[in-house]
Amino acid sequence: MRVLIGYDGSKHADAALADLARAGLPPGTEAVVLTIADLFEPPCSTQQAVEPMVEHAVKQWRNRVEAAISEAKLFAESAASKLRTEHLKWAISTEAFADSPAWGLIKRAEGLCGGFAPADLMVLGAAGRSATLGRTLFGSVALRVLHHARRSVRIGRQVASSKQEGNPIRLIVGVDRSDDSTAAVRAICARKWPVGTQCRVVTVFDSQLFTAMAGIDPIFISSYEDWPRQYAEQAAVTLQGAGLDATAVVCEGPVASCLIRQAEEFAADCIFVGARGLRRVERFLLGSVSSTVAMHAPCTVEVIRS
C-alpha cells in the first residue's frame, strides 16, 4: 500500500502522524512524507540579456525558494524519524519541493511529480500552516484536497481515547448503497486490525427530505425505510468476516450530524465514509456531506474513493 503523508510541522500534522498507529495499515506499507514549501519557483528566462535589477530580484527569489525547500526537507525528515520508530516494517522516504500545498499534494498523489507511482491513500492534518511558517492555513488545504483529489484521503486527528493504552480501536463506517460506500467497507476489511477492534456500521435515513418533496407516494417512502437496516446489517456481517466486532445502527436525521453524533457516543477513533453517495433521490445519504463530516468530526475521518 502506498501512502502519501502531507506534513508541515504543525500540531495537527503531528496528530495525523500519531493517528496512523490506529489506522490498520499493513506491514510493508510504502510511506512518503512530503513537505511543501508554499512558494513558486521563478521561471527560467529564455532571453540572453536580462535587466540587472530583474536578474538580481530573480536570484533573491530563487535563494528564498531554496531556503524554504531546505527547511521543508528538515520537517519531512523529522516526521519520517518519528514514523520509523513506530512502524519498523514500513518503507519510509521523504520529499520536499516548492508548490501550492494542496495542489502539490494532489499532483504528487497522482504520480505527476517525477514519475512516481500514484498513492493509494493521502494523509494530512485537519489544519496546519505553510512550510514557510508564515501563515495559518486553517482547513483550507484539507478542504481543497478533499474536493479535488481522486485518491482516498485521511484527515488525521488524535482523540483522547486513543492515548489510553489498552483501549480498542473504534471505527464508524457510514454506508448507503453507493459504490464508494461499498469501497469504504472493502478498505476496512483490507487493513490489519488488532484483535478487539470495534466497528459501528451506520446507515442514515433522512425522512425530512421526503416531507419537503411534494407528490412523493407514501408507499415509495415506506420502501426506503426498509432497506437501511438490511444494508447496515449486511455490511456488519462483511466486517465481522474480516475479524472486526461489528454492529449495525440506523439513524434518522441529517446525515453529517448523525455520523458525528455516533462518533461522539462511540468514542470513535475514525469515521470511514464514501466520497460520493447515491444519485437522484437516494443521494441524501452520504455524497457531499463527506467533507462536512471530515472537517467537523471529533476524530479522524477517512474519505474513500472507489
Q: What is the pLDDT of residues 70-104, one digit of tens each?
A: 999 999 999 999 999 999 999 999 999 999 999 99
Using the predicted structure, report yes or no on whether residue 205 has a pLDDT greater than 60: yes
- State the cell numbers at 19: 493517528
| Domain residue limits, the chain | 2-156, 160-304
CB 42 within 8 A of CB 62: yes
pLDDT mean over 255-274: 94
State pLDDT tens for residues 125-135. Answer: 987 654 444 44
Pick the CATH number of 2-156 from 3.40.50.300, 3.40.50.620, 3.40.50.1100, 3.40.718.10: 3.40.50.620
Structure confidence at residue 282 as a pLDDT band (50, 70, 90): very low
pLDDT number for residue 241: 97
pTM above 0.95, yes or no: no
Same-fold call for 2-156 versus 160-304: yes
CB 3 within 8 A of CB 25: yes
Using the predicted structure, report yes or no on whether residue 220 has a pLDDT greater than 60: no
Mean pLDDT over each residue of the chain, to the nearest integer: 83
State how far the Cα of 170 lies from the Cα of 216, in Å rounded to an integer.
Answer: 38
Question: Which ranges of 87-166 does DSSP label H, i.e. alpha helix?
Answer: 101-109, 140-148
pLDDT mean over 4-33: 95
pLDDT mean over 248-253: 91
**160-304: which CATH topology?**
Rossmann fold (3.40.50)
